[in-house]
Each structure stands twice: as C-alpha cells, then as structure tokens.
Amino acid sequence: MSSIYEDRVKEILANSSDDGKVRSRESTSLEFKESFGFKSLAKYLKTICAFANTQGGVLVFGVTDSPRTLKGIDKDKFDQIKIEQLSTYLSEYFSPEIHWDIGIVDFKRKHYGFIAIEEAGDKPVICKKNSGDILKDGDIYYRYRGTSKRIEFPELKRMQIEIREKERKLWMEHIEKISRIGPKNVALLDLYSGKMESSNIANNFVIDEELLASLKNEVSFVQEGHFKEKEGAPTLKLVGNLAPVDTVVVPNLDPNKDYPFLVKHLADELQIRPYDAQVLVWKLGLKSSKRYSIEVNAGASTIFKYSKYALTAIRDELAKHDDKKEYLANASKEYQSRKKG
C-alpha cells in the first residue's frame, strides 16, 4: 500500500508554489501536521479512525499550518516510530482493526513522513477506550472536510444503510452461487477460523493461516468432477484424500499486530472481569499454543499477548453456557484448586 500513497504524497507536495506554499487543502482524505510527537498521539488516532470510517486518507507530516508551507521533518526521528507500538495503540483504542501503513518521501531535498489509512471494510470502527477529552469510549469518528469529529446522524444513518445493502448483496451472491452449484456440492469455508465444512467431507479440516490469507482475495475452490469456474478464474483444485494431522501449522506472526490483546483487553472485549479472563485462559490452555498466545519481553519480565483466535475461543466457550456467572464461578474454583495443588 505504501507505494501508492508515496505517489499521492509526492503529488500533494508538488502542488506548491516556488516559495514553498502548499496549494492543496485539508479535506475528507488529507490532513497536514508540522511534525510527529507522541504527545499528540490521541489526535492522530482520532483522525486515523475518522479516515477509516469515511473513505480512507493520509496524514502528511512536515507541512506547517497557516500558511501551509513545506518544512520537512527529521528523517531519523520519524524512522524511530515503532510500527508495532502504533499498532498496539490502534488495537487498544479501536475495534475492528484499522489497516494502515507508514512511510517517508523525499521532495526538494527535504523529507516528509506520512501515515496512510485504508477505508474500513467492516464499519463502523468504534473507539473503545477514553483518552482525555479527545477520545471517548463508544464514539464513532468521521471525517468532515478538514476536521475529524464524532459522527453526526445523517452520516451514521447512511453508514447503516450501506452496511445493510452490502450484507444484502453478499447474501444474494451466495444464494445465487449455491443455487447454480447445487447445495450438495457446496462447502463452506470460514475465512476467520480457516475451517471448512461440507456434507461431502467426513471430517472438517483447517487451512493454514498463511494460505487462508491468500485465498480470501485470490483463489476459489473447485471440487473435482462437480463443476468448473469460468475460464481464467483462479482456482484451487482439491484432488484425492485429505490426511489428518495432529497439529495446526501457524506461520510466523507479528507479536503486536497479530497478538494485540493483553488479558485486560480480552476482558474488555468479552465484558467480563480481567480475573475471569485469566481463569478462562488457563482453563482453555491458551498459553500452550502459538495460535492463541505468544510470550514477549516486557523489561525485566515477560508477559503473554493473545491473538484474535484466543478471543474467539473464549467467546465460543462462554456462549455454550446459559448461566455465565455460575460457569465462571465454577471455573474460578477449579483455578484456585489448581493453584493450591
């Protein structure tokens, strides 16, 4: 994504006068900052969320305000921004995930930094934690011309309509495909968990996460001997028998991007106490699998961080029990007995 935005940032900077005055104005997809500083992080996060909830956008660092003048940034200082740290902040304050990138461009012997944000495919992106007077738990931020603020009713209503229309179209597409293929020839692939279910497969199987990522946008399944996709369409043909395995292969993952949750974050997402989240982590054995958790250094000690699969596993476990309070109380007794033992 960075190469696309690099070209866009260069075009914005090039649209300037001989004395360095930038002609481009801040808009629904563009905002200028003179420099990057973590003291202003909450403001950046608010704008990033607003861009994601609108049509995407880019934050450009190195342009002064009133007037907008090409100043540049300290490249070495901007390079010190840790992507994993910014990813952790975004996952801590917003849900669902925001897709973004960061980079530096050179223009007229000066350096300019940028943070590029994709339009969210799963809207709305909601703030889930307070930060002073800037970020408020439960707020949805939206981009209005040159400002980022809490969404107003007309835009929220339009977003809801777009969500329903998108879901309706997806359902119609699925129904049309099932009708054309025939229900007996259809297998369901869960792009979140990697599980595939079919009446023609004796046992469910799980697809490796790295392959699953490529399948989401590039590959369609064709069951040999049943039907063919149109010529030229990418396909993955399953031939022969599937051999069972004892473990699920998990590719190398980024500790901050792919394991965004601490125990307290799991608790917030599940609306339970952090202690209860810790009990369920133990009960489900989530610390024993890289699919669910990873141990990272935190100064002189180590901590566990958890993936979205850990969150799903706990959520699914809680959904099995009608009386969650009783279940958690019993699980806590088991946990305490284990610790005493």
Residues 28-48 have pLDDT tens digits of 999 999 999 989 999 999 999
> 11 vs 299, which has greater pLDDT?
11
Cβ pair 68, 21 in contact under 8 A: yes
pLDDT at 142 over 90: yes
Is residue 298 classed as helix, strand or coil in its secondary structure? Answer: strand
Which pLDDT does position 32 carry in this prediction?
A: 97
Which pLDDT does position 177 carry in this prediction?
A: 83
**Average model confidence (pLDDT) for the chain?**
84
Residues 272-302 have pLDDT tens digits of 999 999 999 999 999 988 889 998 876 667 8
- Sign for the CA dihedral angle at 34, 40, 43, 44 comes to positive
Residues 184-231 have pLDDT tens digits of 777 777 765 666 777 665 555 566 655 656 555 555 544 444 444 444
Which pLDDT does position 25 carry in this prediction?
A: 93
Of all helices (H) and strands (E), which one includes residue 144? strand 141-144
The Cβ-side half-sphere exposure at 137, using a 13 Å CA radius, reads: 6
Q: How far apart are alpha carbons 51 and 57 in whole angstroms? A: 5
Coarse DSSP helix, strand, coil percentages of the chain, rounded to the nearest 5 percent: 40, 20, 40
